[in-house]
Amino acid sequence: MPPRPHASQLSFLRSLLFTATLLYALCPTPYALSPKLYAQNPTPYALSPKPFVVMLSMDGYRWDYPEQCHTPNLDRIADRGVKAHSIQSAFPSKTFPNHYTMATGLYPDNHGIVQNSFYDPETSRKYAIRDRDAVEDPSFYGGEPIWVTAEKNGITSASFFWVGSEAPIKGIQPTYWKKYDHNFPFENRIDTVIYWLNLPEEKRPRLVMWYFDEPDGIGHTEGPHGEATFQMVAYLDSLLGVFLDKLEQLPHAHEINVIVTSDHGMGINTPDKHICLKHYIETDWFREIEGWNPNFIFKVKENYYDTAWQALQAIPHVSVWKHGEVPERLNYGRNPRTRDFILVADSAWQVSLTGRHSNSAGAHGYDPFKKDMHAIFYAKGLAFKQGYVHPTFENIHLYPLICEILGIEPAPIDGHIDYVKEMLRP
């Protein structure tokens, strides 16, 4: 998401880390005692007749943060379950397009959330992530999110801030859902998810999708290699430990499959690599220009089409394509919402319309085949193998993975279970 003010001072993060570590230390059921769970379940590797899936997305959690930081609780999941080398974002590697791809198994071009903000020519309306009316309008959202599939199959679902869950898509929302509140504490999100999972069986959700907005925010302001970013990663891992310990205290913990993943990675930005579009184009050539570093889409006035195209092609350190001519590997640029021209900056380059620097040290939205745009994937539970490392896979395959675990038929999608079935137990 675009850079925003954040309490990123090192002293503040250290105090958060200390608090989370203290909570973890005081938890009455530490990880060392968790094998008793298997004693209660003599066939731990058999799939539960009523499996659960709880998927947490930590925004902007780059694939290699666990290699650069101490993350014992992600290691804990990997030891007991599965991790992937990385998970590859869809293009553009932005928050809203990718969270909705993770929910639907469709590329952004096919589900319609083509950027964090865009203009829809069919309805003459604009979608923007901070526009409450737009976010709650189901007409913007194509495809079938996993919670809709679950609810249609009689499975109770819950969402804590997942993109799309605030709109009644196909007339259906999760049984439990929350209106987005950026300042809602992470610790309270944990408590709410545990509360949902501890409801009476007839009310208990078997699918929970929930979201943390970090380490994306700190990654933008401090960069992917900043000390404050690593402090945030350590803090989040401590919170993950608190969640896992509370989860393992539930009497049906052995039925719960946990997935921890992210929407995209984070690349490095520096002030010396900056492109101002107004140095190359005139804004009055266009009807609309939508986007934010490093992605823009353009609707050109018809009489300026050739002029605008030639000017955009002359901009250094960017790739620009006409509608319908984006490379096939990106699966993008045919949806009417992508307009006439699509532009993305090269890795590490910033691009802005006016030349105003964002003062960010990190960004995402770049070509998802670049490794710094990749994110994490960890999972454990009865559905997953133990101690297994899976090759990199695309996030379109998360939807069929969840359907397979829950035993429900997927809607038509771009993903396929064959790409991830090797991480599952036979």
Q: Determine the Cα–Cα distance for residues 422 and 426; give it in Å rounded to an integer.
A: 9
Domain match, 298 and 419 both: no
CA 312 to mean position of chain CA atoms: 30
Question: Is there a domain that residue 33 lies in?
Answer: no
CATH number at residue 381: 3.40.720.10
Q: Determine the Cα–Cα distance for residues 379 and 381; give it in Å rounded to an integer.
A: 7
Domain match, 284 and 401 both: no
What are the beta bridge partners of residue 62? 375
Tokens of 247: 């989860």
The torsion defined by the Cα of 367, 371, 376 and 377, in degrees rounded to 10, comes to 90
The strand pair at 388-390 and 87-88 is best described as unpaired
Residue after which a domain boundary falls, among 340, 359, 378: 359
Question: Is there a domain that residue 326 lies in?
Answer: yes
34 compared with 82, residue with greater pLDDT: 82
Q: How many residues comprise the chain?
A: 426
Is the model's pLDDT at 148 over the cut of 90? yes
> Domain count of the chain?
2
**According to the model, what pLDDT value does residue 51 have?**
97
Question: Is there a domain that residue 16 lies in?
Answer: no
Domain match, 220 and 310 both: no
Question: Is there a domain that residue 54 lies in?
Answer: yes
Question: Is there a domain that residue 7 lies in?
Answer: no
Question: Is there a domain that residue 107 lies in?
Answer: yes
Domain match, 233 and 377 both: yes
Q: Determine the Cα–Cα distance for residues 413 and 104; give it in Å rounded to an integer.
A: 7
- Residue 424 is given by DSSP the state B
Mean pLDDT of 29-42: 30
Domain match, 141 and 262 both: yes
Q: Which of 239, 178, 210 is nearest to 99 (CA)?
A: 210
State the sign of the Cα–Cα–Cα–Cα dihedral 325, 331, 337, 341: negative
Is the model's pLDDT at 320 over the cut of 60? yes
**According to the model, what pLDDT value does residue 358 have?**
65
Q: In a 10 Å sphere around its CB, with 0-12 CB exposed, 13-18 middle and 19+ buried, how is residue 388 labelled? A: middle
Q: Which residue has the tokens 């999760």?
A: 174
As a whole number of Å, the end-to-end CA separation of the chain is: 38
**According to the model, what pLDDT value does residue 359 have?**
76
**According to the model, what pLDDT value does residue 404 have?**
98
Q: Determine the Cα–Cα distance for residues 156 and 409; give it in Å rounded to an integer.
A: 16
Question: Is there a domain that residue 219 lies in?
Answer: yes
Domain match, 240 and 154 both: yes
Domain match, 377 and 349 both: no
pLDDT band at 254, cuts 50/70/90?
very high
Q: Determine the Cα–Cα distance for residues 208 and 349; give it in Å rounded to an integer.
A: 37
Q: Count CB neighbours of 139 within 10 A.
A: 14
Q: Which of 111, 115, 71, 75 is nearest to 91 (CA)?
A: 115
Domain match, 287 and 163 both: no
Domain match, 348 and 385 both: no
Domain match, 228 and 352 both: no
Up-side HSE of residue 74: CA atoms within 13 Å toward CB? 24
Beta-carbon contacts of 131 under 8 Å, excluding residues fewer than 6 positions away, are none
Question: How much of the chain, in percent, has pLDDT values that exceed 90?
Answer: 87
Lowest-pLDDT choice from 1-15, 80-94, 172-186, 196-210: 1-15
Helix 186-197, helix 227-248: angle, nearest 10: 20
CATH number at residue 306: 3.30.1360.180
Contact 1, 117 (CB under 8 A): no
Q: Determine the Cα–Cα distance for residues 290 and 369; give it in Å rounded to an integer.
A: 23
**Given phi > 0 = left and psi -120 to 50 = alpha, else beta, which region is 112?**
left
**According to the model, what pLDDT value does residue 37 have?**
29
pLDDT band at 41, cuts 50/70/90?
very low
Q: Determine the Cα–Cα distance for residues 20 and 25; give it in Å rounded to an integer.
A: 9
The whole domain housing 331 covers: 274-359
Residue after which a domain boundary falls, among 359, 383, 400: 359
Is the model's pLDDT at 419 over the cut of 90? yes
Domain match, 289 and 170 both: no
**According to the model, what pLDDT value does residue 26 have?**
42
Beta strand ranges found along 302-404 (DSSP E): 318-322, 341-345, 350-352, 362-363, 377-380, 388-390, 393-394
Q: Determine the Cα–Cα distance for residues 49 and 22; give it in Å rounded to an integer.
A: 37
What pTM, to 2 d.p., does this model score? 0.90
Residue after which a domain boundary falls, among 338, 359, 380: 359
Contact 269, 360 (CB under 8 A): yes
Q: Which of 243, 50, 56, 255 is nearest to 150 (CA)?
A: 50
Question: How much of the chain, in percent, has pLDDT values that exceed 70?
Answer: 88
**Position 1, amino acid:** M
Contact 423, 390 (CB under 8 A): yes
Positions marked active-site: 95
Question: Is there a domain that residue 30 lies in?
Answer: no
Mean pLDDT of 328-339: 98
Domain match, 140 and 229 both: yes
Mean pLDDT of 151-163: 98
pLDDT digits (tens, 9 = 90+) for 98-147: 999 999 999 999 999 999 999 999 999 999 999 999 999 999 999 999 99
